[in-house]
Amino acid sequence: MIRFEQVSKQFPSGTFAVKSLDLEIKKGEFFVLIGPSGSGKTTTLKMINRLIELSIGWVWINGKKISDYDINELRWNIGYVLQQIALFPHMTIAENIAVVPELKNWDKDKIAGRVDELLNMVGLDPIEYRNRKPSELSGGQQQRIGVIRALAADPEIILMDEPFSALDPFSREKLQDDLLEIQRKLKKTIVFVTHDMQEALKLGDRICLMKDGEIVQVGSPHEFLSNPVNDFVREFVGSRKFSIQLNELITPVSAGEGFLSDTKTISLSTPVDELLELLESFEQIAVEENGEVIGIINRQNAVKVMSQYLRKGGQIHE
């Protein structure tokens, strides 16, 4: 879907922001770029839609070099969400959402239907919100509009540059959950920049940790938690091990309650490391004791709890 081939970015000062980057992002993948300040993660993101031009190498989208796309065609097919929400203050919420569909000459009825559909998707009643101005919304509501504006013209790719970092913890967690729900429904290719490892572990199908313009490790949340490649990764994650029991991850349920169709069942004695591997393939797992289901473990909730342990310096129970 998106492929970086020996990509470097050198600024006029001579500084390399990105060095010889080789990377492939799969179609429908939630891919997180993370790293300390100056690691090159935002530069990498902005090279995808040519907000920053690369110096050396090639970036490909669907097998075509981005330099071969018309710049407007390229950007209209890539949604973009910033930390600074940048809604147009003089325009209504509906008008903000409709910007790209109007540039693409959608008819008015189609645009109106799309606006209402997207507002409903993030829990904002179209009747109540479509004619409001951005100043009448909270920060979290404005950021929701920023997310769905990027989705308005149904682009294949969404770029998100630390979109939730300015929000309070409650709003941030709610928007993370909303984004995961949107991704479950739409299966877009999302490239997401963050400096927060807990956010990366919660959201990402895969994570790319960068340092000084180079890739240190690419892998799933499970691989980062269980197999960091060096001390830098280990320290960035928080620890390589954590002391946590399986029952601390379980949400109690009655038999048959709240199960997805592909729910996997394990026993209460299953090692946590084995659970992590299973969560790569299953969104939720049922846990049984003495032949009876006692609860479920949800992928996002489990990663959240484990990453909190890591932040506190906990250790994996072996």
Mean pLDDT over residues 201-218, rounded?
95
| pTM (two decimals) | 0.81
**Total residue length of the chain:** 318
HEC letters along the chain: CEEEEEEEEECCCCCEEEEEEEEEECCCCEEEEECCCCCCHHHHHHHHCCCCCCCEEEEEECCEEHHHCCHHHHHHCEEEEECCCCCCCCCCHHHHHCHHHHHCCCCHHHHHHHHHHHHHHCCCCHHHHCCCCHHHCCHHHHHHHHHHHHHCCCCCEEEEECCCCCCCHHHHHHHHHHHHHHHHHHCCEEEEEECCHHHHHHHCCEEEEEECCEEEEEECHHHHHHCCCCHHHHHHHCCCCECCCHHHHCEECCCCCCCCCCCEEEECCCCHHHHHHHCCCCCEEEEEECCEEEEEEEHHHHHHHHHHHHHCCCCECC
How much of the chain exceeds pLDDT 90, in percent? 59
Distance (Å, whole) CA 77 – CA 100: 9
Show the tokens assigned to 87. 């809604």
Q: For residue 68, what pLDDT band results from cuts at 50, 70 and 90?
A: very high
Which CATH number is correct for 2-237, 3.40.50.80, 3.40.50.2000, 3.30.70.920, 3.40.50.300? 3.40.50.300
Distance (Å, whole) CA 289 – CA 225: 26
How much of the chain exceeds pLDDT 70, in percent? 91
Distance (Å, whole) CA 211 – CA 66: 25
Does the structure show a pLDDT above 50 at 35?
A: yes
Mean pLDDT over residues 268-278, rounded?
79
Per residue in 210-269, pLDDT tens? 999 999 999 998 888 878 899 999 888 875 344 567 777 888 876 555 565 567 888 888
Burial of 14: CB neighbours in 10 Å, binned 0-12, 13-18, 19+: exposed
Whole-number pLDDT of residue 315: 46
Q: How many CB atoms lie within 10 A of CB 238?
A: 21
Q: Would you list the domain boundaries of the chain?
A: 2-237, 246-311
For 246-311, CATH number? 3.10.580.10
Q: What is the mean pLDDT of the chain?
A: 88
Does the structure show a pLDDT above 90 at 42?
A: yes
Q: For residue 288, what pLDDT band results from cuts at 50, 70 and 90?
A: confident
Q: Do domains 2-237 and 246-311 have the same CATH topology?
A: no
Q: How far is CA 160 from the centre of its chain?
A: 8
The answer to whether 204 touches 309, Cβ cutoff 8 Å, is no
Does the structure show a pLDDT above 80 at 286?
A: yes
Per residue in 101-118, pLDDT tens? 999 999 999 999 999 999
Distance (Å, whole) CA 178 – CA 290: 36
